[in-house]
């Protein structure tokens, strides 16, 4: 059967360009030597990076965002992995209820989570702080951890565990020596994704941060002014940090366990809807 | 190895506490706040008044916001779904060896920064922006074109850019579970290309289409940053910006809360309409939950 392939291929290439060109433009102009945001870029320089790294507000924002991202990743991965175990290994009505309940925060616009947290903070007289920032981030990242780890646990060969038990391993040994090492890449990948989401989160953080400024909030405050080329450098950092970390993780997982591991977080992320 | 009941309960406790304390209780408080009101000193007074809801439903200015929201969220959802479907179809059935690397590219784009995208579209599309200066440098145009900046179109383009990797992955995950032999069988039995898509591929990915459309629609309607930085004044005020304004500018928190629940109700109506429409078109089975 003859198929005309080029229209679909062309469309796919154009769509990929549409996705990537704006992202690459940010990075390109982050290293721009001139101060005009017009074509062509004027030489390569690190002047905008030097400029922002000299800015106290930027450095403190970076520190706050990095702290929030690491804390969020750690909490979300513990809560999510524990829940994923219960959901997959004891699949009853309660587990199903928890699984769909955990997706609620991702299905609501972040604005709703943000203003709901404001309501709770007003009611219980909780002041905005790093803790409220992290709470907001944990809510929206835990569902991703559950998705990714649960999917790994579901596509996993249980006979390995049975074999270990037959050979006399205690349940604790099976968990430590068999189960956890096998699902470790998925857990790590989930944590990285949680950190990346937290690092970039602004829609909820805007309501939960009070006077603390995260890196995205720093960008937001700069966006309110006119176009400022140093924002390119900050935006480049916002993009590159998660990209490098997620990219390295994907490559590492791919080397460890074949292409399936790359597809798995992707497809599991996809099922979030 | 299945878990004991006690262990399963122990493992679910942190998630339960998180959902209860950080999602369910706050949403309940938000609902309660929507019946409160504010006094002259902008203090929130607890009580039970339906005044906020009455104001939202009867004041005509809110209808403008509703229309704007629809004019931004609907095109964004359609563009993200159509683009995502094309890309996902390509990935699932045509990409061959490139599939793995393309999937990684899309996951990485999914991790792309929301704010960086908004900023990028601002620098790209202004009168002296990158697109205009590129066109002039290439002698395609002489003067600057009146481009899309500060319009609903700009908002739709940027949001579509943001949601595309997501819709692509959702639809890919659904399409990749359709055996290619089904398509081949339909073609062998004489179905045209379009017929095969319409009768086989679309219905089999109907649930993902339904979910992804609603997801993008709802998130776009609740986005309160893109419309402010890329939209025109007056034409791009959405429910999202309206609610955010109540919290940051006018400080009428109870009104903001009630607008949020009105928006939720309107969204429920969209869910019902889309479900009925897709069932009528044979894209969703008659009896799914």
Please give the ipTM for the structure prediction: 0.89
Mean pLDDT of the A141-165 span: 88
Three-class SS of residue B38?
A: strand
Q: Name all domains of chain A by residue range, CATH numbers in brackets.
A: 55-270 (1.10.3720.10)
Q: How far is B58 from chain A (nearest CA, A)?
A: 23
Mean pLDDT of the B222-250 span: 88
Instruction: Pick B3 or B1 by higher pLDDT.
Output: B3
Q: Supply the pLDDT for residue B286.
A: 74
Mean pLDDT of the A1-10 span: 73
Question: How large is the C-alpha radius of gyration of chain B?
Answer: 23
Half-sphere CA count of B177, side-chain side, radius 13 A: 14
Mean pLDDT of the A50-78 span: 93
Mark residue A56 as left, alpha or beta (left: phi above 0; alpha: psi -120 to 50; beta: remaining). alpha
Q: Supply the pLDDT for residue B145.
A: 64
Question: How large is the C-alpha radius of gyration of chain A?
Answer: 22
Q: Examine the pLDDT at B102 and tell me if it is beyond 80.
A: yes
**If you write DSSP's letter for every residue of chain A in order, what string do you get?**
-----HHHHHHHHHHHHHHHHHHHHHHHHHTBSSS--SSSP--B--HHHHHHHT-HHHHHHHHHHHHHHHHHHHHHHHHHHHHHHHHHHS-SHHHHHHHHHHHHHHHS-HHHHHHHHHHHHHHTTPPP-HHHHHHHHHHHHHHHHHHHHHHHHHTS-THHHHHHHHTT--HHHHIIIIIHHHHHHHHHHHHHHHHHHHHH--TTHHHH-TT---HHHHHHHHHTSS--THHHHHHHHHHHHHHHHHHHHHHHHHHHH-THHHHHHHHHHHTT-
Mean pLDDT of the A181-199 span: 88
Neighbours of B20 (CB within 10 A): 12
- Interface residue of B108, B117, B144, B263 to substitute, partner A, most A CBs within 10 Å: B108
Kindly list the residues from chain A whose CB atom is less than 8 angstroms away from the CB atom of residue B265.
none
Kindly list the residues from chain A whose CB atom is less than 8 angstroms away from the CB atom of residue B169.
266-267, 269-270
Is the CB of B215 less than 8 angstroms away from the CB of A105?
no
- Cα–Cα distance, A115 to B173 (Å, whole number): 32
Q: Which residues contact A192 (CB under 8 A, 6 or more apart)?
A: A73, A245, A246, A249
Q: Examine the pLDDT at A259 and tell me if it is beyond 60.
A: no
pLDDT digits (tens, 9 = 90+) for B168-203: 999 998 898 889 899 889 989 988 888 888 888 999
Asked if B218 reaches chain A (Cβ–Cβ under 8 Å), the answer is yes
Q: Examine the pLDDT at A261 and tell me if it is beyond 60.
A: no
A150 near A102, Cβ under 8 Å? Answer: no
Q: Which residues contact A235 (CB under 8 A, 6 or more apart)?
A: A26, A30, A219, B113, B115, B116, B119, B120
Is the CB of A83 less than 8 angstroms away from the CB of B165?
no
Q: Supply the pLDDT for residue B287.
A: 65
Q: Examine the pLDDT at B39 and tell me if it is beyond 90.
A: no
Mean pLDDT of the A248-262 span: 60
pLDDT digits (tens, 9 = 90+) for A9-35: 999 999 999 999 998 888 888 888 777
Closest chain A residue to the Cα of B128, Cα to Cα = A38
- CB contacts under 8 A, B 93-132 vs A, are 94-95, 100, 102-124, 126, 128-130, 132
Percent above pLDDT 90 for chain B: 48
Q: How far is A94 from chain B (nearest CA, A)?
A: 10
Q: Which of A156-165, A259-268, B99-108, B272-281 has the highest mean pLDDT?
A: B272-281
Q: Examine the pLDDT at B161 and tell me if it is beyond 90.
A: yes
Q: How far is A53 from chain B (nearest CA, A)?
A: 18
- Cα–Cα distance, A149 to A81 (Å, whole number): 6
Q: Supply the pLDDT for residue A255.
A: 64
Mean pLDDT of chain A: 85
**If you write DSSP's letter for every residue of B169-235 in order, what string do you get?**
HHHHHHHTTS-HHHHHHHHHTT--HHHHIIIIIHHHTHHHHHHHHHHHHHHHHT--SHHHHHSPTTT
Is the CB of A273 less than 8 angstroms away from the CB of B211?
yes
Of the pLDDT bands very low, low, confident and very high (cuts 50, 70, 90), residue A258 is very low
Of the pLDDT bands very low, low, confident and very high (cuts 50, 70, 90), residue B42 is confident
Q: Examine the pLDDT at A4 and tell me if it is beyond 70.
A: no
Token digits for B192? 């045209």
Asked if B234 reaches chain A (Cβ–Cβ under 8 Å), the answer is no
Q: Examine the pLDDT at A272 and tell me if it is beyond 70.
A: no
**Gap between the terminal Cα atoms of chain B:** 31
Q: Supply the pLDDT for residue A262.
A: 44
Asked if B221 reaches chain A (Cβ–Cβ under 8 Å), the answer is yes
- Cα–Cα distance, A185 to A102 (Å, whole number): 22
Give the range among A81-90, B18-27, B125-134 with minimum mean pLDDT: B125-134
Torsion angle defined by CA atoms of residues A186, A188, A190 and A195, in that order, rounded to the nearest 10 degrees: -170
Q: Name all domains of chain B by residue range, CATH numbers in brackets.
A: 59-280 (1.10.3720.10)
Instruction: Pick A136 or A184 by higher pLDDT.
Output: A136
Q: How far is B240 from chain A (nearest CA, A)?
A: 7
Beta strands B44-45; B37-38: pairing state: antiparallel
- Cα–Cα distance, A139 to A231 (Å, whole number): 28
Q: Supply the pLDDT for residue B91.
A: 92
């Amino acid at each position: 059967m003859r198929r005309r392939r080029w229209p679909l291929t062309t469309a796919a290439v154009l769509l990929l360009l549409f996705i990537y060109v704006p992202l690459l433009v940010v990075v390109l102009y982050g290293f721009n030597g001139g101060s005009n945001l017009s074509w062509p870029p004027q030489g390569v320089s690190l002047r905008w990076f030097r400029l922002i790294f000299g800015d106290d507000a930027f450095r403190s924002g970076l520190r706050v965002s990095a702290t929030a991202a690491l804390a969020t990743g750690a909490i979300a991965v513990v809560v999510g992995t524990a829940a994923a175990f219960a959901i997959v290994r004891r699949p009853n009505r309660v587990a199903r209820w928890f699984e769909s309940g955990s997706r609620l925060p991702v299905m609501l616009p972040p604005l709703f989570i943000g203003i709901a947290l404001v309501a709770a903070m007003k009611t219980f007289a909780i002041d905005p702080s790093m803790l409220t920032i992290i709470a907001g981030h944990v809510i929206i990242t835990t569902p991703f951890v559950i998705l990714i780890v649960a999917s790994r646990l579901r596509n996993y060969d249980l006979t390995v565990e049975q074999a270990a038990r037959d050979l006399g391993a205690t349940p604790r040994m099976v968990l430590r020596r068999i189960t956890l090492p096998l699902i470790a890449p998925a857990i790590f990948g989930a944590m990285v994704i949680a950190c990346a989401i937290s690092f970039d989160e602004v829609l909820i953080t805007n309501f939960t941060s009070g006077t603390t400024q995260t890196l995205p909030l720093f960008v937001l405050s700069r966006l309110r002014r006119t176009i400022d080329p140093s924002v390119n450098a900050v935006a480049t950092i916002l993009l590159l940090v998660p990209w490098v970390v997620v990219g390295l993780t994907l490559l590492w997982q791919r080397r460890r366990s074949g292409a399936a591991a790359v597809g798995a977080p992707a497809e599991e992320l996809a099922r979030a809807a | 190895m299945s878990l004991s009941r006690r262990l399963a309960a122990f493992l679910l406790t942190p998630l339960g506490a998180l959902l209860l304390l950080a999602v369910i209780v706050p949403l309940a408080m938000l609902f309660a706040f929507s019946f409160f009101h504010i006094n002259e000193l902008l203090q929130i007074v607890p009580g039970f008044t339906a005044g906020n809801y009455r104001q939202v439903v009867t004041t005509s200015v809110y209808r403008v916001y509703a229309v704007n929201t629809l004019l931004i969220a609907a095109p964004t959802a359609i563009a993200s779904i159509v683009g995502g479907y094309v890309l996902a179809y390509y990935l699932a059935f045509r990409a061959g060896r490139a599939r793995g690397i393309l999937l990684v590219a899309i996951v990485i784009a999914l991790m792309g920064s929301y704010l960086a995208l908004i900023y990028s579209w601002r620098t790209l599309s202004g009168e002296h922006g990158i697109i205009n200066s590129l066109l002039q440098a290439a002698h395609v145009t002489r003067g600057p074109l009146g481009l899309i900046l500060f319009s609903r179109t700009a908002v739709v383009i940027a949001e579509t850019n943001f949601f595309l990797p997501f819709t692509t992955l959702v639809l890919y995950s659904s399409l990749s579970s359709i055996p290619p032999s089904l398509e081949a069988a339909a073609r062998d039995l004489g179905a045209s290309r379009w017929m095969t898509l319409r009768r086989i591929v679309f219905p089999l990915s109907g649930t993902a289409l339904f979910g992804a459309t609603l997801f993008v629609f709802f998130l776009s309607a609740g986005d309160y940053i893109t419309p402010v930085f890329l939209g025109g004044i007056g034409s791009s005020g959405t429910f999202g910006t309206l609610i955010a304004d109540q919290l940051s500018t006018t400080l009428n928190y109870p009104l903001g809360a009630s607008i949020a629940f009105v928006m939720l109700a309107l969204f429920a109506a969209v869910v019902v309409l889309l479900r009925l429409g897709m069932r009528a078109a044979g894209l969703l089975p008659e009896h799914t939950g």
